[in-house]
């Protein structure tokens, strides 16, 4: 929503009133009934075939699929806090088939393989749906699709063009352009001017329950999970520190096959793990491979949750299809219904802290919450009087191409996946498959993708990093206020293939 819509905010005091008493914790994690007991930390040293570092979706899928591929493999997962506490337990729950942060970004960056990427992405979403059913994971999975919304006149033409472009690539059946009347038939807001409905390629789910369900599935498959066990360092058994011997994503580039002799040793405060192979799934947190750190900046994203809507409030929206919704500005909102008919309302501000700092105190940002609440009532004036029950923020792993990147290190014994940039609920499962493919040493359709073989551009060091991100954010805000027109800075960044998004 742009400055214009911000000015539509009917009453700042109403936003403050609606936020009064909201609990400053992620709604999804605030659930003592379903939240599992923490597991014990590692105690003393251990050995395994595969060590997974990180207990979000990325690590959990990697551990689970590793067991499915080879049940005899001894798999250990180390989580620094509790499984699913970070992005995986506090996101919007939009499980998107896209592996490329949307079709447009994928088309711009990988025009030759976009159709393959779309096919693999849809198969990945199907596999998530199938795994959720097979493991009995009760995560409110609803394959409702998503409508991208135009809330400014120039965005109407952009959505129409996006629909035509998708049709030219054989994806016409997946997307439907909705004019103003048609979109308001789906969800009623005076702010909506048009929509693009992705009917089957997005599901809504309860993010924390997915993480907790995957944790249970991992344990049932025999994965040994140690919580409150941060990995502090990684060596290759010959004393080489993280980063030494790192290679790109190409299997052909690797100096050794996945099963080569030697070991990876990961140290923790509670003992060392000696593993034949390791998969790093640490998202926005500092990578154990130092050389990867410049590829990611931690960006804070924020969300509100309303109290459950009454039947009349729900009826006033006409949101029968329960689709996920997102508007189309550079600073965009995403919003959706929960199983008990609350509205999650998130996005817009994207905060970077100097030095790529991550800290618990950044999870709450009252000025952002007031802004978001104002936008909420401007979008749905019929919901006047609704109150918010929860406010929270979380960190995402933004990379300069918005789509995950992959690779190996230490002679192919360590694989990593990172850079999901706010669209990892679905794509992390694909990333898990890629990491396991890379560790196997086999060439697969996935490992041959340019998406997998090539890395994004790294971010520059501070203070240039901070200044560059600030300049980009200022330019994006201006573009939103000026009918989408991108200034010279943004055009130069586009030409260099360097971007900033959430
Ligand atoms: C507010 C918000 C809204 C979002 N909304 C959406 C959405 O609607 N749809 C979507 O697709 N994506 C969304 N995302 C992004 C999505 O949540 C992530 O892409 C996804 O959860 C990434 O999973 P992950 O396992 O890589 O990371 P995480 O869930 O962050 O897990 C990484 C784990 O690694 C652990 N760890 C890190 N370092 C170490 C170490 N050294 N030792 C041990 N453990 C370590 C951490 O403690 C953490 O638990 C959102 C993110 C946020 C914050």
Q: Give the DSSP H/E element, type plus range, for residue 78.
A: strand 75-78
Q: Is 77 near ligand 1, meaning CB less than 6 Å away? A: no
Choose the weakest-confidence range: 56-65, 189-198, 231-240, 423-432. 231-240
pLDDT band (50, 70, 90) for residue 385: very high
pLDDT in tens, 277-329: 999 999 999 999 999 999 999 999 999 999 999 999 999 999 999 999 999 99
Question: Is residue 116 helix, strand or coil?
Answer: helix
Place of tokens 């659930």: 31
Q: Is the dihedral of CA 70, 406, 428, 233 positive or negative?
A: positive
Binding site membership of 281 for ligand 1 (Cβ less than 6 Å): yes
Q: Which pLDDT score is estimated for 497?
A: 85
Q: Torsions phi, psi of 17, nearest 5? A: -60, -40
Residue with tokens 């393989």: 113
Residue nearest to atom 33 of ligand 1 (CA): 54
Q: Is the CB of 55 under 6 A from ligand 1?
A: yes
Q: Tell how strand 264-268 and strand 233-235 pair up.
A: antiparallel
Facing residues of 108 across strands? none
Give the pLDDT score at 252: 31
Is the pLDDT confidence value at 247 over 90? Answer: no
Helix then strand count (H, E) for the chain reads 15, 18
| Top-confidence residue, 256 or 88 | 88
Report, as an integer, the average pLDDT of 373-382.
96
Token output for 411: 């002679």
Inter-CA distances, 496 with 320, 449, 454, 456, 488, Å: 43, 21, 15, 11, 12
Q: How does DSSP assign 82-112, residue by residue?
A: -TT-SHHHHS--EEES-SSSSHHHHHHH-TT
Task: Tell me the C-alpha to C-alpha distance, in Å, between residue 5 and each of 17, 160, 281, 304, 317.
Answer: 20, 22, 38, 18, 19
Tell me the average pLDDT of the chain.
Answer: 92
- What pLDDT does 257 receive? 39
Who wins on pLDDT, 252 or 294? Answer: 294
Mutate to test the pocket of ligand 1, among 39, 79, 87, 280 (most ligand atoms within 8 A of CB): 87
pLDDT at 306: 98
pLDDT band of 10, cuts 50, 70, 90: low
pLDDT of 169 above 80: yes
> Residues of the chain with pLDDT > 70: what percent?
93
Please answer whether residues 332 and 357 qualify as being in contact, where contact means their C-beta atoms are separated by less than 8 angstroms: no
pLDDT attached to residue 255: 34
Atom of ligand 1 nearest to the CA of 281: 26
Statement: residue 3 has pLDDT above 70: no
Is residue 48 helix, strand or coil?
strand
- Candidate from 29, 54, 198, 234 with most ligand 1 atoms within 8 A of CB, to mutate: 54
Q: Please give the distance, rounded to the nearest whole angstrom, from the Cα atom of residue 12 to the centre of ligand 1.
A: 32
Q: Which residues contact 470 (CB under 8 A, 6 or more apart)?
A: 352
Is the pLDDT score of 75 beyond 80?
A: yes
Q: What average pLDDT does range 359-364 have in this prediction?
A: 98
pLDDT surpasses 50 at 360: yes
- CA distances to 51, 304, 323 from 336, rounded to whole Å, are 36, 11, 7
Q: What are phi and psi of 467, to 5 degrees?
A: -65, -40
The answer to whether the CB of 352 falls within 8 A of the CB of 175 is no
| Predicted local confidence at residue 7, as pLDDT | 42
How far out from the chain centre does Cα 169 lie?
25
Instruction: Name the band, by pLDDT with cuts 50, 70 and 90, for residue 501.
Output: confident
Return the minimum-mean-pLDDT range out of 80-89, 249-258, 446-455.
249-258
Mutational pocket test of ligand 1: of 39, 88, 281, the residue with most ligand atoms within 8 Å of the beta carbon: 88
Q: Other C-beta atoms within 10 Å of 181: how many?
A: 8
Average pLDDT over residues 197-219: 97
Mean pLDDT of 380-387: 96
- The answer, yes or no, to whether any atom of ligand 1 lies below 6 A from the CB of 424, is yes
Number of Cβ within a 10 Å radius of residue 370: 17
Q: Output b/e per residue, 82-98; b: 16+ Cβ within 10 A.
A: bbbbbbbbbbbbbbbbb
CA angle 23, 24, 26 (to 5 degrees): 95
Ligand 1 neighbourhood includes 52 CB (under 6 angstroms): no
Specify which residues 388 forms β-bridges with: 306
Query: Is residue 480 predicted with pLDDT exceeding 70?
Result: yes
**Token pair for 249:** 């994503």
96 CA distance to ligand 1 middle (Å): 15
**Which atom of ligand 1 is nearest the CA belonging to 418?**
26
* HSE-up (13 A, CA, CB side) for residue 401: 24
pLDDT at 173: 85
Tens of pLDDT, residues 434-456: 999 999 999 999 999 999 999 99
**pLDDT above 50 for 4:** no
Tens of pLDDT, residue by residue over 257-284, are 344 358 999 999 999 999 999 999 999 9
Minimum-distance ligand 1 atom for the alpha carbon of 394: 53
Separation in Å, CA 214 to CA 84, 314, 483: 10, 32, 43
Q: What's the pLDDT at 435? A: 98
- Quick one: which atom of ligand 1 is closest to the CA of 392? 1
pTM score: 0.94
Judging by DSSP bridges, how do beta strands 271-280 and 46-53 pair with one another? parallel
Could you report the per-residue pLDDT of 122-168, keeping only the tens digit for each?
A: 999 999 999 999 999 999 999 999 999 999 999 999 999 999 999 99
What pLDDT, on the 0 to 100 scale, is given for residue 334?
Answer: 98
Query: Tell me, what's the pLDDT at 261?
Result: 52
- pLDDT, residue 2, reads 41
């Amino acid at each position: 929503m742009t400055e214009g819509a911000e000015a539509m905010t009917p009453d700042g005091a109403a936003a403050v009133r609606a936020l009064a008493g909201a609990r400053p914790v992620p709604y999804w994690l605030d659930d003592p009934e379903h939240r599992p007991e923490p597991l014990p930390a590692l105690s003393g040293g251990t050995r395994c075939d595969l060590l997974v570092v990180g207990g979000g979706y990325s690590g959990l899928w990697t551990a689970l699929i590793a067991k499915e591929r080879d049940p005899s493999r001894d798999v250990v997962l180390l989580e620094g806090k509790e499984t699913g506490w970070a992005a995986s337990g506090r996101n919007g729950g939009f499980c998107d088939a896209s592996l490329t942060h949307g079709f447009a970004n994928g088309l711009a960056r990988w025009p030759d393989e976009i159709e393959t990427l779309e096919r693999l992405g849809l198969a990945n979403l199907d596999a998530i749906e199938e795994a959720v059913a097979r493991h009995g994971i009760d995560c409110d999975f609803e394959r409702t699709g998503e409508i991208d919304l135009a809330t400014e006149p120039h965005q109407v033409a952009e959505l129409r063009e996006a629909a035509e472009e998708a049709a030219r690539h054989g994806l016409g059946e997946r997307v439907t352009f909705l004019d103003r009347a048609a979109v308001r038939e789906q969800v009623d807001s005076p702010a909506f001017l048009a929509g693009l409905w992705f009917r089957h390629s997005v599901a809504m789910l309860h993010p924390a329950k997915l993480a907790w369900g995957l944790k249970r599935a991992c344990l049932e498959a025999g994965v040994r999970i140690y919580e409150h066990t941060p990995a502090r360092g990684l060596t290759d058994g010959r004393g080489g520190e993280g980063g030494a011997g790192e290679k790109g994503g190409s299997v052909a580039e690797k100096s050794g096959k996945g099963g080569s002799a030697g070991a990876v040793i990961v140290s923790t405060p509670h003992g060392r793990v000696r593993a034949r192979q390791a998969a790093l799934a640490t998202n926005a947190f500092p990578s154990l491979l130092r050389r990867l750190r410049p590829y990611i900046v931690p960006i804070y994203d924020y969300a509100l949750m309303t109290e459950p809507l009454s039947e009349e409030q729900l009826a006033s929206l006409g949101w029968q299809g329960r689709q996920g919704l997102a508007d189309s500005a550079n600073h965009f909102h995403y919003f959706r219904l929960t199983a008990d008919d609350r509205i999650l309302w998130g996005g817009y501000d994207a905060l970077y802290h100097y030095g790529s700092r991550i800290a618990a105190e950044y999870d709450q940002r009252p000025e952002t919450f007031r802004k978001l609440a104002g936008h909420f009532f401007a979008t749905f004036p019929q919901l006047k009087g609704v109150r918010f029950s929860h406010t929270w923020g979380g960190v995402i792993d933004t990379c300069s191409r918005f789509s995950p990147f992959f690779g190996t290190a230490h002679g192919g014994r360590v694989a990593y996946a990172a850079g999901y940039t706010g669209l990892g609920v679905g794509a992390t499962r694909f990333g898990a498959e890629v990491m396991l493919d890379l560790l196997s040493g086999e060439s697969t359709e996935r490992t041959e993708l340019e998406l997998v073989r090539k890395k994004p551009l790294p971010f520059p060091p501070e203070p240039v990093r901070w200044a560059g991100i600030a300049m980009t954010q200022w330019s994006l805000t201006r573009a939103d206020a000026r009918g989408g027109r991108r200034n010279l800075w943004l055009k130069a960044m586009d030409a260099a293939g360097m971007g900033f998004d959430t």
